[in-house]
Structure 1
Amino acid sequence: MPLRPLGCRLNLELPGMGGGWRVCTPGGIVPTGDPLPLSGAFGRGGILRVGDLVLRPYRRGGLLRHVNERTYRTHLRFAAEHAIHRGLWEAGFPTVEPVGYAWRASGLGVEGVLITRLADGEAWPRRWELSTDRGGDIRRLIGSLCEWGLWAPDLNATNVILPANGGALMLDWDRARFEPAGQDLWPRYRARLERSLRKLGAPAEAFAVMAAAPHP
C-alpha cells in the first residue's frame, strides 16, 4: 500500500512526551489524544498508545544503556529505520504500518520516537501455545528477509506479533541493512532468534519454528 509523502513540522508537542519535537509524518499529521501505556508491550519502557497510533521512544540496549540510554548523535538513524520499514510495507511485507518518526535536541545529540499504527495482536512470547500453528508464518517472514538480503540485527521473539485472525507480523527495523548478494542469512537469523528464545525461557515448540527447516 503506497504511503503519502512525509511532511516535517517543528517544535511540536507529543502526547505524554512534552514539546520541542520535529515530527515527520504523512502530511505532517501529529498524534493527538490521551496517551496510555501500551498494554502487553515488550521493550525498555515508555511505549505509549495514542488512539490507533503507537509511540515508541528509541532506547539503547546492551551495556551502553547504562551510560547513555536515549541520546543519539543525529536523527539519521531514525530516518533510516523509517525508510526500510516503509519500503517493506509498500512491498507487501507483513509488518505494522509505519507512520513516521520524531526527534528533538537532547544533551549533545538528539532523542527520537518511532510512530506506527497499532497492530491487532499479541507478541509471540505471550502466545507460545500458537507456535505450532503459526510456525510456518514466522518462517516465511524470515525466509522473505533472507531472499531480499535484508539483515535485521535486532530481531527478537518479542518483535513478532501474532494477530488473532492468523498470520504473523514483524516489528523493529532499527539498523536493518541490505547485505551483499550471495550471503546466506538464514543461519544468522536462526542463531539470533534462538538466543532470544533462550533468554525468554521459551518452550520447545517455539525453538522448533526455526529448527524445523533449513530454509522455507
Structure 2
Amino acid sequence: MIHDPYIVPPLPASWPYEPGRPLRPLGCRVNLDLPGFGSGWRVCTPGGQLIAGEAVPLEGAFGRGGILRVGDLVLRPYRRGGLLRHLNERTYRTHLRFAAEHAVHRGLWEAGFPTVEPLGYAWRPNGLGVEGVLFTRLAEGEAWPRRWDLSRERATDIRQAITSLCDWGLWSPDLNATNILLPPQGGALILDWDRARFMLNGTDLWPRYRQRLERSLRKLGAPTEAMAVTGSAPLP
C-alpha cells in the first residue's frame, strides 16, 4: 500500500476532542489583488470568498516578518528559514506545499483539535517558481513566549495536544514555543502546520516532539518550569 503523508487518516480511538462540522470546500479565483501583497494572486478560500479590507501588521506575532491582519483574518506569507533564506527567501517550486499545509490544517480543525481556523491560501508566479500566503482566522491570545507563566491546567492542555498528535501519527517539524498561543479564557492553540505530514503506523513521535520543543524553550530562555509540558519538570 502506498503511504500518502497528506491524506488525513481516521482518528485514533483515544482522540480526546469532539470533531466539528466540515469546512466549506475551497473555491479558487485568479488574478486577484490581495491586501498588503499586491496583484496577480490565485486565491483559494471557502466558497471563493474574496478578501478585502485594510491590511495592518499583526501585533505580537512571531515569525519571519510580513504577517498581516485584515479584519478577523490573518495573512501569513511563506518565508524560508535557515541558511537557505539568504539565497531564496520566498520562492517555491509549486503551490503544492501551500495546498498540503491547508489540507493537514483543515483535517485538524474538523477533528476538533485546538488550533486556529484554516481559511485557505493564495499563490502567484515569482521568478522560476511561486510565492504563497496562508489565511487563518484571527484568534485572541498571546504567544507562549510573551507570558511564560504556566498553570497546571495550561501545561496539561499543551501536553495533551502534543500527545494527541503522536497518537494520530502527525509530525509537525515547526512545533515550537512561538507556535503555541494562549487564549485569555484558558487552554492552548497550536499554530503553523507547514511541512506537517502523517507518518507510517507505529512511528514513535513523542521523542521527536520532546526534543524539538525543549530545544525551542532553551533557545528562547524559558524558565525551568516551562519544561513541564514535556515531562522534564514538575507540573506547576
1:118 equivalenced with 2:112 (yes/no):
no
Structure 1 runs (4+) greater than 3 angstroms displaced: none
For 2:214, the equivalent position in structure 1 comes to: 194
Amino acid in the other structure paired with 2:227: F
* TM-score, normalised relative to structure 2: 0.88
The count of residues paired between Structure 1 and Structure 2 equals 213
- In structure 1, list runs of 5 or more residues that go unmatched: none
User: Larger helix proportion, structure 1 or 2?
Assistant: 1
- Cα deviation, residue 77, structure 1: 0.2
For 1:166, the equivalent position in structure 2 comes to: 186
Distance 1:132 1:45 in 2: 32
**Partner residue of 1:48 out of 68, 72, 75:** 68
Partners of 1:49 and 1:55 within 8 A in 2: yes
Distance 2:151 2:201 in 1: 31
For 1:20, the equivalent position in structure 2 comes to: 40
**Partner residue of 1:59 out of 62, 72, 79:** 79
Q: Deviations over 1:41-71 (max 9, x none)?
A: 0000000000000000000011100110000
Partners of 2:153 and 2:187 within 8 A in 1: no
| SS state at 1:128 partner | coil
Distance 1:130 1:188 in 2: 23
Partners of 1:102 and 1:113 within 8 A in 2: yes
For 2:5, the equivalent position in structure 1 comes to: none
| SS state at 2:60 partner | coil
| SS state at 2:150 partner | helix
Distance 1:208 1:26 in 2: 38
Q: Deviations over 1:123-161 (max 9, x none)?
A: 111110125441000000000000000000111110001
For 1:136, the equivalent position in structure 2 comes to: 156
Partners of 1:122 and 1:162 within 8 A in 2: yes
Partners of 1:23 and 1:103 within 8 A in 2: yes
| SS state at 2:104 partner | helix
Matches within 5 A, 1:197-208: 197-208=217-228
For 1:30, the equivalent position in structure 2 comes to: 50
- Cα deviation, residue 2, structure 1: 1.4
For 2:112, the equivalent position in structure 1 comes to: 92
Distance 2:167 2:225 in 1: 25
Q: How much identity, in percent, do the aligned residues show?
A: 79
For 2:128, the equivalent position in structure 1 comes to: 108
| SS state at 2:50 partner | coil
For 1:155, the equivalent position in structure 2 comes to: 175
- Cα deviation, residue 208, structure 1: 2.1
Distance 1:70 1:155 in 2: 21
* TM-score, normalised relative to structure 1: 0.96
Distance 2:168 2:70 in 1: 33
Distance 1:60 1:87 in 2: 24
- Cα deviation, residue 96, structure 1: 0.2
Partners of 1:131 and 1:206 within 8 A in 2: no
Amino acid in the other structure paired with 1:37: P
